[in-house]
Chains A and B, each alone.
Chain A
Amino acid sequence: MMDKGLYREVLLDHFRNPRNKGSLEEGMQRERGSNPRCGDDIEVGVVQVESRIEQIRFHGRGCSVCIASASMMTEACEGAPSDSAISLCNHVESWVGSREGGTVPHPGVEALDGARAHAARHTCILLSWRALCRLLTADAA
């Protein structure tokens, strides 16, 4: 099919069946990410227990890349120590920014490799990661 690069099967699967997507529960820490340029608007919610991400969810609307990336993020970060999640967010940010090459930050985000080649889609990929990073760093401070 067309555009194997950008729309990998794994990415489309995360878009069609997003993991951990749905309304955020009472008491979750929340952070919103929005990009008025294309109308993407999501909110990430986490429950941290002893500096570990016990639970992570998101809801909102966005393009396939935005939703798939958020879904992958929740899988990659669930159960992780909060400080390693912050490092992962930063690693994803620089990996996407470099557009090609570099080590894949996490096996669960490899399917974003095609999308990061498109500079116009960087904000779509990073919207959820930036929200999570803001949430966790504000909390750690």
Chain B
Amino acid sequence: MAARQMNTEAFNAETVRAEFPILATEAHGRPLVYLDNAATTQKPQCVLDVIEHYYRAQNSNVHRGAHYLADLATRGFEAAREQLAAFLNANGKEEIVWTRGTTESINLVAQSWGRKHIGAGDHIVISGLEHHANIVPWQMLCEEKDAELKVIPVTDSGELDMDAYGTLLDGPVKLVAVSHVSNALGTVNPVGEIVRLAREAGAITLIDGAQAVAHMPVDVQALGADFYALSAHKLFGPTGLGALWGRYALLESMPPWQGGGEMIERVSFEKTTYNAPPFRFEAGTPDISGVIALGAALDFVGSLDHDSASAHERDVLDYCVARARQCEGLRLIGDATERLGAMSFVLDAGHPADVGTLLDRQGIAVRTGHHCAQPLMARFGVPGTVRASFAVYNTRADVDALFTGIEKVKTFL
């Protein structure tokens, strides 16, 4: 505890905030309080600079033209792949496939690995906490293959029912796909245990890491999963870019899923042979500036003192939850022991849409609605929630502003 306090003090949130120009915005004449980081994080100056620099000084296509700029662009592009591989402790940069985001990463696995390996009667296990991006691709696959989708139930505290999971694994399970951290509730799932049990049952595992990577170190080798999906824009990087990490042997066994340039080895009208992973899965010109900018975002994360930054994040979230427990007429939705990045709630005083609008008028940005997790909302019997979600640059002052705002909402509605 004493050590944690010291770490919190060592962390200077103001210095970090200063790196994010957008945080100085005024919204409706009030200082912006940005608490919608689970939707997307803001971008530090270094990321913005790199994007501009790329188009001013490096713009070219990758892996093609044998000229000065093409070489610069290709080197920047591949260096970022190397950086992300190191960030995830992957077993080499060939295990990193660039995609448009978590959604596309999951669809890639469903369409490529899934269509090859899933057959009639097979089970795919997901959880009741999933984002639609980790539900619908599997539903589509199940429908096509006559397979069955099984769902790990969620307890009243918003955690996964691990006993029920154990029982599900008695079935003919081929794949388990769960989120590392729930975007709607902030619950941290016991993915290590989930993966271990799945492996024992002979199932492949995919972890949706969209909400984890900005908040905790991820070591895919230690985790032992087969696939890990993430989005750059939730990690201080640009929108429209993400990655799929996959074990190389698995990636190598998978057929391509989109055809075009880059993913081929040799094309003739009679027969085309495919490039090796990761290029096999990267048809077409990729988001080159985005990839290079993600490299800058990873530099930003690397520049933070990890221990004190995560102690600071934990302190702000714990403070928010403590304030929420004291707030009359507020009901927390989900109350997991392990929680990261987000807190969801409803107010007796009003519908989430009204609460969100009234907070917005005070400069406070939260997300309201179903958070792309309609089955989870149904589980808790609410039409939607208000979600406050945090990044490393948020402070206790942001939490204070939120609760001052909530008090105003209560008197208004």
Is A140 positioned at the interface, with any CB of B under 8 Å from its CB? no
Stretch in contact with the other chain, from A23-31, A33-41, A70-78, A90-98: A33-41
User: Is B382 a contact of A39 with CB atoms below 8 Å?
Assistant: yes
Contact with B354, one of A1, A39, A61, A63 (Cβ below 8 angstroms) = A63
Is B361 positioned at the interface, with any CB of A under 8 Å from its CB? yes
Stretch in contact with the other chain, from B77-85, B302-310, B314-322, B345-353: B345-353
Q: Which residues of B contact A41 (CB under 8 A)?
A: 383
- Name which residue of chain B comes closest to A36, CB basis: B374
User: Is A2 a contact of B362 with CB atoms below 8 Å?
Assistant: yes
Q: Which residues of A contact B215 (CB under 8 A)?
A: none
Tell me what chain B mostly uses at the interface: helix, strand, loop, or mixed. Answer: mixed
User: Is B383 a contact of A2 with CB atoms below 8 Å?
Assistant: no
Is B369 positioned at the interface, with any CB of A under 8 Å from its CB? yes
Is A124 positioned at the interface, with any CB of B under 8 Å from its CB? yes
User: Is B352 a contact of A38 with CB atoms below 8 Å?
Assistant: yes
Contact status of A63 and B358, CB under 8 A, knowing A7-B412, A37-B369, A41-B383 = no
Is B408 positioned at the interface, with any CB of A under 8 Å from its CB? yes
- Name which residue of chain A comes closest to B374, CB basis: A36
A122 to B352, CA, bound (A): 16
Contact with B413, one of A38, A39, A64 (Cβ below 8 angstroms) = A64
Q: Which residues of B contact A2 (CB under 8 A)?
A: 358, 361-362, 408, 412
Q: Which residues of B contact A36 (CB under 8 A)?
A: 370, 374
Is B357 positioned at the interface, with any CB of A under 8 Å from its CB? yes
User: Is B412 a contact of A40 with CB atoms below 8 Å?
Assistant: no
Contact status of A3 and B374, CB under 8 A, knowing A38-B369, A39-B384, A61-B383 = no
Q: Which residues of B contact A66 (CB under 8 A)?
A: 351
In the assembled complex, the CB of B181 is this many whole angstroms from the nearest CB of chain A, namely: 23
User: Is B351 a contact of A62 with CB atoms below 8 Å?
Assistant: yes
In the assembled complex, the CB of B401 is this many whole angstroms from the nearest CB of chain A, namely: 14
Is B377 positioned at the interface, with any CB of A under 8 Å from its CB? yes
Residues of B within 8 A of A (CB): 350-354, 357-358, 361-362, 368-370, 374, 377, 382-384, 408, 412-413
Given A39-B351, A39-B369, 16 more A-B residue pairs with CB atoms under 8 Å apart are: A2-B412, A3-B357, A12-B413, A36-B370, A37-B369, A38-B353, A38-B368, A38-B384, A39-B352, A39-B384, A40-B383, A41-B383, A63-B350, A63-B351, A63-B354, A66-B351
7 contacts between A and B (CB under 8 A): A1-B412, A2-B361, A37-B370, A39-B369, A39-B384, A64-B413, A65-B353
